[in-house]
Homo-oligomer: A and B are copies of this chain.
Amino acid sequence: MKLGDIGEFGFIDRIAPVGMVRPEGVIKGIGDDCAVMSLSGPEYLLVTTDLLVESVHFILDWAPAEIIGAKALTVNLSDIAACGGVPRDAFISIAIPPHIDLDWLDGLYRGLSDAARASSVNVLGGDTTRSKGHLVINVAVTGLVRPQEVLFRHTAAAGDIVVLTGPTGRSGAGCDLLLRGERRDDSSARSLIAAHLEPRAHLREARILAESGAATAAIDVSDGLSSDLAHLCKDSGLGAILREESIPVSPDLVRAGMELGKDPLDWVLHGGEDYVLLAAVKPEELTLIMETAARKGCTFFPIGEFVAGAGIELIRADGTRLPITPRGWDHFR
């Protein structure tokens, strides 16, 4: 059997059962944004790790080293955010091929450290080694969260509201512009490209969700809205209904869609790398949490609700119902 036959998530399902040999202290092992552990203290320890490979996850020509470094950290901070936590320390492993020079590496670490400082995260030990091929960066991040505030994927309930902490699709459109060699200097294109290259981890939004007690579950949108909603639905044993008219679509996206001949909704639903949070919120708490978010300078978007059953449906503006097949990112399909 080939890896392509079972896909990334099939592979994860395959390896997950063999790893757990000492269940004490493990609140959640494989299958959430972070591993969640109860060690010796009152707070849970969160651990997440992401491996980034040159020419798979980033293209050296697309951005200065600083921006690549910052994003390598951000994608991990986003996993801590998805669990409602506060990040603490980052550990960088890097395999350096001959075509990378010291100036570039200095830039990478400057970007990493600046992004870390902005979230009060230390960049501590790690591993530095040689590569014969591509540049490889692994970032592992630890965080802490109070047991009563941790957010999982498997705990949403039917009737909960599907809430986004920011618009999706902008990063996917920016990536497509880059892939097509777009270097237009209008502010609309620049803003989409920035959404792809310089995402922000929604750590503030995470704390609003976690502290409120209003959120029952969360995930970060890295594979794409459809895929990550499907993960959350599957793990919670639910389906979901999305309302097209409630889903934010920015004018930049409409403009890029016209230019590239693509339906903007495609990016919104399936784009990926948005690093906003997708949460399940108790319906009776929705108004209060929207107000809290607004007061703290954040915008939450209620885009639908979780329902009993399985599958995701989109109710279009004209009332027709469209089943949504997740087709976000799978590294092996």
Contacts and interface: CB of A to CB of B under 8 A. Distances in A.
Contacts of A53: 95, 129-132, 136
A130 to B, nearest CB: 4
Contact of A105 (B11, B32, B125): B11
15 contacts: A18-B123, A20-B123, A21-B116, A21-B123, A30-B124, A37-B88, A37-B89, A40-B41, A41-B42, A45-B45, A49-B140, A51-B129, A53-B129, A56-B95, A127-B138
Contacts of A124: 19-20, 26, 29-30, 35, 47
Interface residue tally of chain A, by bracket? 35 or more
A262 interface: no
A3 interface: yes
Interface of A: 1-3, 5-6, 8, 11-12, 14-15, 18-22, 25-26, 29-32, 34-35, 37, 39-43, 45, 47-51, 53, 55-57, 88-91, 93-96, 100-103, 105-106, 109-110, 113, 116-117, 120-134, 136, 138, 140, 142, 144, 331-332
Contacts of A89: 26, 35, 37, 47
